[in-house]
């Protein structure tokens, strides 16, 4: 009898955890939509709660502050899901690093970068627009740059290990870092009407010409 009670309690606990995760994800998705639509400063926790169809108390209980929720929205935006895995440890990034030919690797990396830019670019522009007036947004910009720097450091170290770099590992890291914040993607895709495929091809060629020894 005791085992049956324990099993039931375990089931209830698991179900509550699943429901809590689903609620939190709904809040994050709602916050993402509200931030992009109204800006960080123009969005309130109450508006996020209404969009997620939960109470504002639920939002505060799950995330504490709007700044903490902004950070969680960034995690979802860069990864594309709610898995707690760094981007450069994800399968798509690992597949890029596994390519032995460096020119081909940069082409693959450019495709991944173009794909993620569709999520990251608009988010970064929104946060940058709020940074002057909102300290939390300014901190978020710095954190985004730090995370991307770490990711490009990993990519550059892997590129240097191939012996095919035409520049130093540090220069490779800095070039990758400077060209993957979404600014170029926004200027050429959103501003000039390029397709993502055209942008990815151009970026891959740029990196190859600049960074790969011929």
The share of the chain scoring above pLDDT 90, in percent, equals: 71
pLDDT at 1 over 70: no
pLDDT in tens, 78-114: 876 556 656 667 787 788 889 999 999 999 999 999 9
Residues 156-175: tens digit of each pLDDT: 999 999 999 999 999 999 99
pLDDT of the residue at 207: 98
3-state secondary structure the chain: CHHHHHHHHHHHHHHHHHHHHHHHHHHHHHHHHHHHHHCCCCCCHHHHHHHHCCCHHHHHHHHCCHHHHHHHHHHHHHHCCCCCCCHHHCHHHHHHHHCCCHHHHHHHHHHHHHHHHHHHHHHHHHHHHHHCCCHHHHHHHHHHHHHHHHHHHHHHHHHHHCCCECCCHHHHHHHHHHCCCCHHHHHHHHHCCCCHHHHHHHHHHHHHHHHECC
In the structure, what pLDDT confidence band is assigned to residue 3 with cuts at 50, 70 and 90?
low
pLDDT one-digit tens code per residue, 37-54: 999 999 999 999 999 999
pTM of the model as a whole: 0.79
């Amino acid at each position: 009898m005791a085992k049956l009670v324990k099993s039931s309690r375990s089931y209830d606990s698991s179900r509550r955890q699943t429901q809590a995760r689903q609620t939190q994800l709904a809040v994050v998705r709602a916050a993402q939509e509200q931030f992009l639509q109204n800006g960080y400063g123009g969005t309130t926790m109450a508006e996020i709660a209404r969009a997620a169809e939960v109470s504002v108390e639920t939002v505060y209980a799950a995330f504490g502050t709007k700044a903490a929720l902004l950070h969680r929205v960034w995690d979802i935006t860069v990864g594309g899901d709610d898995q707690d895995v760094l981007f450069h440890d994800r399968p798509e990034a690992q597949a890029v690093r596994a390519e032995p030919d460096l020119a081909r690797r940069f082409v693959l990396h450019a495709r991944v970068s173009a794909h993620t830019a569709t999520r990251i670019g608009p988010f970064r522009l929104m946060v940058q627009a709020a940074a002057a007036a909102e300290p939390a947004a300014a901190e978020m910009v710095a954190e985004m740059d730090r995370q991307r720097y770490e990711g490009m450091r990993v990519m550059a170290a892997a590129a240097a290990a191939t012996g095919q770099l035409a520049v130093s590992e540090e220069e490779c890291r800095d070039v990758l870092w400077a060209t993957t914040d979404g600014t170029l993607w926004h200027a050429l895709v959103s501003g000039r009407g390029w397709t993502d495929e055209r942008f990815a091809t151009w970026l891959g060629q740029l990196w190859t010409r600049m960074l790969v020894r011929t």
